[in-house]
Structure 1
């Protein structure tokens, strides 16, 4: 399964972003969407899993969640806009997550690209940075990878260059 991870579009979507969305089996968006057009355009070309962020209006938040939790093969996946260790631990305990399972935590908000494995939590943190043009970030980035046979492969940073 090919996954595209993005965040902080802030209402911006273009053909380059949609190109990567089209070749993904799923797009995971970690919030600060900006407007409904972003959701509509990505949804036309790929399966979208999305949460709202702190800049998203109450109207845009209708039908969206602050976080979503789901499983892909052996992975427990949590997508939220703002990472909160307490929230993560609550979700893990409320969903009876077996410690033998690996976890993927996707977040946004900081506009800073970060991919890090936390061995003590058996969790891969993915913050794809910001792909939109609003904010303080200097580069626009997304992340892609594959989940195949209970393994994460082909992890790539997609660098769109200066905003």
Structure 2
């Protein structure tokens, strides 16, 4: 199972279209996950052309998104339980807020966004993954998204690229 994970697309705004590098991976995805801040329902429609789309809403998403996507959710993909949350809020870091969202919930992976800072690390036995943003790198050197492969084992990778067209 190949899961393409993206978020913080901010379209329109930070971009007009999803980058070709992201779409290239979506073409072979079994599932696409979005961490929120879609900004428009068109992003959902674009991604849905490739595979089933799951996700959460973020702090800039309006009613058309928030009606379709919750603030947080847990999904089961094969033998892997994944917690999804955007990660916005007051105080603490985005990572700490994401972890606290699922406190007491046994998860294999926590996927979050909001900070636009790509991250891939373990906290105890839970993989923490932030795909960054494919359209708004802020002060970082590259745009990014993630791919999560789930088979007998879990393999995750961050994809960094320079051209957001």
Give the TM-score normalised by structure 1: 0.83
Cα 1:40–1:27 shift into 2, 3 Å: same
Name the residue aligned to 1:159. Answer: 160
Q: Match for 1:22 among 9, 23, 27?
A: 27
Q: Match for 2:149 among 116, 124, 146?
A: 146
Could you tell which deviates more after superposition, 105-114 or 55-64?
55-64
CA distance in 2, matches of 1:45, 1:162: 21
The structure that is helix-richer by fraction is: 1
1:130–1:137 contact (8 Å) kept in structure 2:
no
Tell me, yes or no, if structure 1 residue 58 matches structure 2 residue 60: no
RMSD of equivalent CA atoms? 1.9
**1:1-150 to 2 correspondences below 5 Å:** 1-11=1-11, 12=15, 13-82=18-87, 83=95, 84=97, 85-89=99-103, 92=105, 97=106, 103-119=108-124, 122-133=125-136, 135-149=138-152
Give the TM-score normalised by structure 2: 0.82
Give the superposition deviation at 1:15: 3.1
Equivalences, count: 150
Give the superposition deviation at 1:89: 1.0
State the secondary structure of the residue aligned to 2:108: strand
Unaligned residue ranges in structure 1 (runs of 5+): none
The structure that is strand-richer by fraction is: 1
1:133–1:140 contact (8 Å) kept in structure 2:
yes
2:148–2:157 contact (8 Å) kept in structure 1:
yes
1:29–1:50 contact (8 Å) kept in structure 2:
yes
